[in-house]
Structure 1
Amino acid sequence: MSTSRFTAGAPAVEIIRVGPGLWHALDDDRVAGHGEATTRPDGRVSLTVDAWHRPVFDQLARTMLADLPGPLHTVVDGADHELLAAWQAAGLAFGRREWDYVLPTTAVPALPPAGVTLQPSAHEVVAVEGGERVGEIRVVRVRVDRIDLVTVVPTHRRRGIARALVTHALGVLHQAGVERAYARVDEADPAATALFEGFGDRTTSTVELVRDGR
């Protein structure tokens, strides 16, 4: 739903549940909006509502939240303040905000610290020291090239391992003809934020809204 298209006024609607995870808002037997609850692979239940009128959205969202038990969540464009407010008014609370970064693949390579080697495999690059795995990076290449994971063992952080992993991954993509990659970072993670702000520009954000179990 794009809330910039909300129109003034609202029809008198009846909210009915038409199937598992599906609700319709009916205006004289005409569908004026619908809501859906889907179970993600991780087991979380995700909500979506599509309606032209804000009051119709409100009725659908509140009915869905009343009908559904347990934890619920939805993801909203961080710039869509009207939709954020609508979901919060319905009963969801702020969960987290993630920022998307665009990363040029021409970053200057950074060498790992002495004693640490980078070992690439088909799906990831692992940082190894003394035979132990101390960090890794994973890149997903579906539709766009995205850094999906960067992690360093806590006792080995602040040594430049994460930066070396990122520049290695970007260099491999550059050699494959890729000009830019993407990463999504939780704004509550200052270390990851600082890392990726050193490589690229922050663009858009997404906000997760949640309701804990009841």
Structure 2
Amino acid sequence: MRLVVLRGTVHRSGRSNISGVNNDAVVISRVVEDRHWHALENDLVVGRGEALRRPDGRLFLGVDAWQDRVFQPLVATMLAELPEIVYTLVDDEDVEARARWRDAGFVTYRQERVYTVATDPQITGLDQIRAPSGIEILPLGQAAEAPLSELDRVVRAEVGAAAGWQSMPVELRSRPDGTVGVIDPAAYVVAAQDGEYLGLARVARVPRRSRLGLVAVRTARRRHGIARAMLAELLGSLHRAGVDSVTAEVDDYNKPANALLLGIGAQQVGSASELLHR
């Protein structure tokens, strides 16, 4: 499917012109089925669009084209070819980007705070934290995949029955059959008691800065210091490996999670909004 624009009006055909430099045609076409779009002008890429399905099933759009004459038709093409609810994530300080997405029909769905968390136990105050009596904290890579996958399933069900999983979107990999499963135990610190897994803390190791992806404890075992004990192990392990800090994103309305991070000295460095288009 190709889309071209003539003086700001969307047309679906082979080729036409868009008002701009030399009135050259901007052609928008999908280059990879269901995933990528390019905006071309004089055979040069002047904009890119991508649709990424997250493991929680939601579809997120990303666009790299910061001229309205390219951005709006590019988004319009993506929306027309993706007949479902879609989302995007925008930095709250990027007023222009937010306005462009709103002009495309997106509305605010949820907001989150962005934190930087130091790993040094002298800064977090976690150097003296010990696991509650009877609780064993399994270091990164020590958990077994099967019970870890089961814990993930139970945690998702508990969150879904309460605030809703959309308030804690977590990036877990999916199996080939589409079901969500824990693939890499090396990314998890786990709390266990008598062989039963009760809580998990996940980190995503990336080149620029590691990301604290999720801290979760079974509903019946919360408020007993398990989350802090897992964080003490996870952040301490990263510190010993030479990682100075991690990032974390928390739903603005998730008061316990925000309090947990602020309680270990996390610094809020920004905020972002998820926008939705129906």
TM bucket, shorter chain: 0.7 to 0.9
Which TM-score applies when normalising by structure 1? 0.78
**1:118 Cα deviation after fit:** 1.1
Contact 2:72 2:100 in 1 (8 A): yes
Written as runs of structure 1 = structure 2, the 5 A alignment for 1:1-214 is: 11=20, 16-20=27-31, 21-24=36-39, 33-40=46-53, 42=55, 44-106=58-120, 107-109=124-126, 110-122=129-141, 123=186, 124-143=188-207, 144-199=209-264, 200-212=266-278
C-alpha distance 193-13 of structure 1, shift in aligned 2 (>3 A): farther
Give the whole-Å Cα distance in 2 for the aligned partners of 1:44 and 1:135. 25
Aligned to 1:174, the other structure's residue is in SS state helix
- Identical residues among aligned pairs (%): 35
Give the total of aligned pairs: 201
Judge which range, 91-100 or 149-158, deviates more.
91-100
Per-residue Cα deviation, 1:107-139 (whole angstroms, up to 9, x for no partner)? 222222222221224122211224321111122
Closer/same/farther in 2, CA of residues 68 and 146 from structure 1, 3 Å limit:
closer
- Is there any run of 5+ residues in structure 2 with no aligned partner, and where? 1-18, 142-185
Q: Report the residue type matching 2:276 in the other structure.
A: V
The answer (yes or no) to whether the contact 2:38–2:49 under 8 Å persists in 1 is yes
CA distance in 1 between partners of 2:73 and 2:92 (Å): 23
CA distance in 2, matches of 1:52, 1:184: 25
Letter matched to residue 139 of structure 1: V
Question: In structure 2, how many angstroms separate the alpha carbons of the residues matched to 1:55 and 1:179?
Answer: 42
CA contact (8 A) 2:47 2:70 kept: no
C-alpha displacement of 1:98: 2.7
Contact 2:47–2:63 (8 Å) recurs in 1: yes
| Residue aligning to 1:5 | none
Task: Work out the CA distance in 2 between the residues paired with 1:184 and 1:191.
Answer: 13
Higher strand share: 1
Which amino acid in structure 2 is aligned with residue 162 of structure 1? Answer: A
- Counterparts of 1:137 and 1:209 in 2: how far apart (Å)? 27
Whole-Å Cα distance in 1 between the matches of residues 27 and 230 of structure 2?
A: 52
Q: Which amino acid aligns with 1:22?
A: W
Aligned pair in 2 of structure 1 residues 14, 171: CA closer, same or farther (>3 Å)? same
Inter-partner Cα distance in structure 2 for 1:155 and 1:92? 38
Q: Equivalent residue of 1:111, what SS? A: coil
| 8 Å contact from structure 2 (residues 87, 275) kept in 1 | yes
Classify the secondary structure of the residue corresponding to 1:91: coil
Shift of residue 63, structure 1, vs aligned partner:
3.9
